[in-house]
Amino acid sequence: MGVKKRALITGITGQDGSYLSEFLLKKNYEVHGVVRPSSTLNTSRIDHLLKYPRKSHENVQLHFCDLSDHSRLLALLIETRPDEIYNLAAQSHVGISFDQPILTGEITGIATAALLDSVFRLKLDSKFYQASTSELFGNTPPPQNEDSILEPRSPYAIAKLYSYFMTRNYREAYGLFAANGILFNHESPRRSERFVTRKITSTAARIAKGSIEKLYLGNLSAIRDWGYAPEYVEGMWKMMQHDRPDDFILATGVGTTVREFCERTFSLIGKNYEDFVVIDENQLRPTEVENLLGNFRKAEKSLGWKPDTDVNSLIEIMLKSDIAALNH
Ligand code: NAP
Ligand code: F7E
């Protein structure tokens, strides 16, 4: 067995961080995770990877650090000297970013510069992955590819735009191995219920079990390209093993409206979504992104990556998991 590679993951407690940790552990990596200090426990998605809850497995070590604490980030890089850094931490909710634009800018934007600049100043050989997003495209007509115009339409997307270009700039200016994964929406049973897919499947599961409740949603006409998160973290890793740093889209190439997602979820429990969905104006965004649908051909050609799970299978996986959780 060769020397273990060391990965540092910011956002390890999130959906993608948890799947990426599992993936890297299977590849025999030593995983270091940055955890935001919080008064309530926030490691539920990775507890199964730790030897004892909240203590570190021999191949997983957790480090407390808020991404706004740049000197702590610098210290962590000196301490861990990672081969690969996956910058997944973010205030990742588009709707919330309209209420907290400055915090979103600090965590989703400026912290990326702090990490990149630390790698550069410390002269580390660490490869750097930036969690970029289809939100960068805004209302640029679909299908979007790596050359499509970037027109961000939320404080979240604007902060991500800064990180996207910082990543490119450190690559071009200083030769860092710095790659952007421009990922379209990807979901799973570990998706927070704040996002629309899991909000729909978890509510439908409760309704299937007899709960009398309504599902309060905003814009039902928005089209998203929804894939399955475990497949996307493999794509992140493939970008880091590529012979040179580059920017890649990961997507399924299929668009589905929020309305269709509801319709299909409720049909699986033998109900009509129209009997449950209520439009809640509070869920509408000041500026909406209407139609995101990605072209993943570059990743397929250069990385050999392609999605396997279509949106209907995704709905089944998420609904099944939400129903099973209620049976426990
Ligand atoms: P997520 O579930 O919301 O996870 C975000 C992570 O960031 C969590 O671990 C969170 O910690 C951490 N975090 C937030 N604020 C922090 C702070 N101030 N200091 C330290 N850590 C902080 O997001 P995800 O779905 O896994 O997505 C991973 C990344 O990909 C994000 O950058 C997201 O913007 C981006 N992205 C996601 C998608 C998607 O469809 N999922 C698509 C494109 C790009 P807590 O657990 O303590 O909240
Ligand atoms: O919204 C509409 C909403 O919040 C999807 C993040 O991971 O993917 C995610 O961002 C659509 C939007 O995801 C509700 O207006 C309707 O049109 O699930 P979402 P998002 O905004 O696409 C991208 C790629 C990221 O990078 C982000 O980090 O659904 N919608 N009604 C609703 N959305 C929510 N959350 N809640 C509703 O009630």
What does pTM read for this prediction?
Answer: 0.98
Ligand showing the shortest atom-to-Cα distance for residue 235: 1
Tokens representing 316? 């089944």
Examine the pLDDT at 2 and tell me if it is beyond 90.
Answer: no
Note if 162 is an active site residue: no
Out of 8, 9, 12, 16, mutate this one to test ligand 1's pocket (max ligand atoms within 8 Å of CB): namely 16
* Confidence class for position 58, pLDDT limits 50, 70, 90: confident
Note if 156 is an active site residue: yes
From the centroid of its chain, how far is CA 189? Answer: 13
Examine the pLDDT at 1 and tell me if it is beyond 60.
Answer: no
* Averaged pLDDT of the chain: 97
* Confidence class for position 3, pLDDT limits 50, 70, 90: confident
Q: Before 143, cis peptide (omega within 30)?
A: yes
Cβ atoms of 6 and 82 within 8 Å: the answer is yes
Distance from Cα 38 to the centre of ligand 1, integer Å:
15
Note if 146 is an active site residue: no
Read off the pLDDT of residues 109-164 as tens digits, 9 standing for 90 and up: 999 999 999 999 999 999 999 999 999 999 999 999 999 999 999 999 999 999 99
> Which residues are bridge partners to 15 per DSSP?
none
| Active-site option among 19, 86, 129, 156 | 156
92 Cβ inside 6 Å of ligand 1? yes
Read off the pLDDT of residues 67-76 as tens digits, 9 standing for 90 and up: 999 999 999 9
C-alpha to C-alpha distance for 15 and 27, rounded to whole angstroms: 19
C-alpha to C-alpha distance for 311 and 254, rounded to whole angstroms: 8
Q: What is the DSSP string of 251-269?
A: --S--EEHHHHHHHHHHHT
Read off the pLDDT of residues 98-112 as tens digits, 9 standing for 90 and up: 999 999 999 999 999
Q: Whose CA is nearest to atom 17 of ligand 2?
A: 222
C-alpha to C-alpha distance for 225 and 182, rounded to whole angstroms: 13
C-alpha to C-alpha distance for 116 and 192, rounded to whole angstroms: 28
* Confidence class for position 50, pLDDT limits 50, 70, 90: confident
Examine the pLDDT at 7 and tell me if it is beyond 60.
Answer: yes
Distance from Cα 210 to the centre of ligand 1, integer Å:
33
Domains and CATH numbers, the chain: 6-186+227-250 (3.40.50.720), 192-224+255-290+309-326 (3.90.25.10)
